[in-house]
Structure 1
Amino acid sequence: MIRWTWAFLDRPVDTFAECARFWATVTGSTLSPPRGEHDEFRTLLPASGPAWVKMQAVDGDGGIHLDLDVDDIAAAVSTATGLGARVVAELTDYTVLESPAGQTFCLTPADENASTDPAPVTVVTAPDGTVTRLDQICLDLSPNDIDADTAFWRALTRWTSKPSSRPEYSRLRGPDQPLHLLLQRLDDPRPAGAHADLASSNIAATATWHESLGATRITDADEWIVLRDPGNALYCVTSRDPYTG
């Protein structure tokens, strides 16, 4: 059983400080003190409710990976590999794996002292009054990988699967967890990836605010706007309801 799910925003070392400030601001969070051998880890601490987003300074371009807190790592590894995952590295306290499509995730030890109360919905109010909420990680999957990875994540998480109004998307919603997963079928084959989605009461206003903080606007659509953060990672601001997702 997955006790808690963390979204890890992996960002390049040379832009990490700027990225950390950016994501802390747009999520209404404060940054934890740095930790790790090279001060490479920070946690985004929300104004209320439990933390679920961490950041890591990495070599290369970075990306997103998931940490899944479990009671028994060995048992969880056996389950994951039985569903098609591959072990990448076994470390003292956790195991790194890849989904069938190649999405990186870690099985990590659950905090036995963590609260079991339902996670509250936390939103951020921008200076102009626009409301936003980071609550979703989108797994970007090629047409050849979407079916296998959708089945994998459904079976591994045991979360509720919800269809979308668009056939290329499906959603996984976990009990009492602020993080949700969106699985997206891409048009063309490419390696698996992931990006963050923020729900917004006004996507144009949110995009403008983010630009003022260092983001770059890439594409405007009817229901979402694609941007790049200061570390050059793509993310989306969507017209989903910040309160209900």
Structure 2
Amino acid sequence: MTVRWITGFLDTPSRVAEPFWQAVTGSGLSPRRGPGGEFATLRPAGGDPYLRVQVVGDGPARAHLDLHVTDVAAQARRAVALGASVLADEGELVVLRSPAGLPWCLVAWHGEANRPAGARSLVDQMCLDVPAGVFDAEAGFWAAVTGWPRRPGSRPEFQALVRPPGMPLRLLLQRVDAPAGMHLDLACTDRAAEVAWHEQLGARVVAGHERWTTLRDPAGRTYCVTDRPV
């Protein structure tokens, strides 16, 4: 599969966290789309959009990935052959589930190619939290689906997929002793200052680590602020 672009979705039962993510990313909000106005795009100051918000009918607040491709139907068939299951097929949008239970989507590519840049911080990674017992199989699945090579992460519980140049989000897989899920990570130049700013905007610190801080946004969604170059 040739992934042309990647989008991170913030799925929330309400719009309560949208102002927070606009502030954190320095983005504007597009006109709302969908029958109930449930979709909107976070528009960066420069580059092509790669983050979107969605009001969903159930909780908890969470995140998922959209992979943008040139032939959705063909790539959906390929994903199924690799072990994915189809949850919904709307032509240019196919909703799937990975073998470990992670929901994600295949969508049509519309020419997005310019990765936005950040100054003090940047949302630049989606972390796939995978139960330890199925980690190796799930990592192999995502490497096969994306065509991105696997490499060891910075710690034994991590593996990274090497993204092509210009792709806006990295993909990191993490072994966890919890149900499968996804969360966004931000790179920043000054983690202490970044975390303090997020708290002022309504986030709450959950845990601190040597190289990252885990927080919850105003909707209760977990994400991380990390010591990585912007």
Instruction: Give the 3-state SS of the residue equivalent to 2:150 in structure 1.
Output: strand
For 2:134 and 2:9, the matched residues in 1 are separated by 22
For 1:167 and 1:198, the matched residues in 2 are separated by 21
Equivalent of 2:147, from 140, 145, 158?
158
TM-score between the two structures when normalised by the length of structure 2: 0.94
Structure 1 consecutive aligned stretches of length 4 or more whose deviation exceeds 6 Å: none
Equivalent of 2:170, from 167, 180, 205?
180
Instruction: Give the 3-state SS of the residue equivalent to 2:17 in structure 1.
Output: helix
Unaligned runs of 5+ in 2: none
Are the structure 2 counterparts of residues 72 and 121 from structure 1 closer, same or farther at C-alpha, using a change threshold of 3 Å?
Answer: closer
- Is this contact kept in 1: 2:48–2:116, CA < 8 A? no
Q: Residue in 2 aligned with 1:45?
A: 43
For 2:147 and 2:171, the matched residues in 1 are separated by 12
Question: What amino acid is aligned across from residue 3 of structure 1 in structure 2?
Answer: R
For 2:207 and 2:41, the matched residues in 1 are separated by 29
TM-score between the two structures when normalised by the length of structure 1: 0.89
For 1:167 and 1:203, the matched residues in 2 are separated by 23
User: What root-mean-square deviation, in Å, do the aligned CA atoms of Structure 1 and Structure 2 show?
Assistant: 1.3
Instruction: Indicate yes or no: 2:183 matched with 1:195.
Output: yes
Q: Please give the per-residue CA displacement for 1:29-51, whole angstroms capped at 9, x wherever unaligned.
A: 11111111111111011111111
Q: Please give the per-residue CA displacement for 1:221-240, whole angstroms capped at 9, x wherever unaligned.
A: 11111110011000000111
Q: Residue in 2 aligned with 1:73?
A: 72
- Is this contact kept in 1: 2:161–2:170, CA < 8 A? yes
Q: Which deviates the most, 208-217 or 164-173?
A: 164-173
Q: Residue in 2 aligned with 1:128?
A: none
Q: Residue in 2 aligned with 1:122?
A: 117
Question: What amino acid is aligned across from residue 2 of structure 1 in structure 2?
Answer: V
Unaligned runs of 5+ in 1: 125-130
Number of residue-to-residue matches in the alignment: 227
Q: Residue in 2 aligned with 1:205?
A: 193
Q: Residue in 2 aligned with 1:147?
A: 136
Equivalent of 1:19, from 17, 20, 24?
17
Question: What amino acid is aligned across from residue 236 of structure 1 in structure 2?
Answer: C
For 1:30 and 1:210, the matched residues in 2 are separated by 18
CA drift of 1:88 comes to: 1.0
For 2:191 and 2:227, the matched residues in 1 are separated by 6
Instruction: Give the 3-state SS of the residue equivalent to 1:209 in structure 2.
Output: helix
For 2:106 and 2:55, the matched residues in 1 are separated by 19
CA drift of 1:121 comes to: 5.0
For 1:162 and 1:200, the matched residues in 2 are separated by 23
Q: Please give the per-residue CA displacement for 1:147-167, whole angstroms capped at 9, x wherever unaligned.
A: 111001101101233322211
For 1:81 and 1:241, the matched residues in 2 are separated by 36
